[in-house]
Structure 1
Amino acid sequence: MNSVNPKRILRNYLAQQAIEAAENDDVSVLEHLHHGLMDPYSESPEYDDLAQLPPDWGKTLEISCSS
């Protein structure tokens, strides 16, 4: 089952955190996210924060798709 279901996926709130940090010249959040998503099936405790449910503010993020 672990080889089929990834432990970590890109969530909107994670992307938003990385964007906001990068806008403030802090790319460490983006790097952490990038490295954590490179192998989403691994058991890597240092990336457990990427597998959490979104915080309250992240549950109401609205996105749009423009084509």
Structure 2
Amino acid sequence: MHIAEAQQLIQRLSAMINRLIIAILVAAGLISLGLLLSVWHPDWLLAWLGPLMGLGVVLLLLTSFLLAWRVLRGR
């Protein structure tokens, strides 16, 4: 049995799975970073904590917008 659009469907499914994996890894990294910083916060890190958290939020937003754009675009 041969399905005409099977290859295209497989490629779209593969791209969706890749985006899902990236989203899960980003979320897991941010959660683990938050947990680590809540437990371990040395004195030298306190001066850098604000900018680091701001950078993390900016990276999270950029990644989220990129993933949403790619999903809405249909790729």
Structure with the greater relative contact order (CA < 8 A, sep ≥ 6): 1 or 2? 2
Q: Which has the larger radius of gyration?
A: 2
- The TM-score bracket by the shorter chain reads 0.3 to 0.5
| Greater helix content | 2
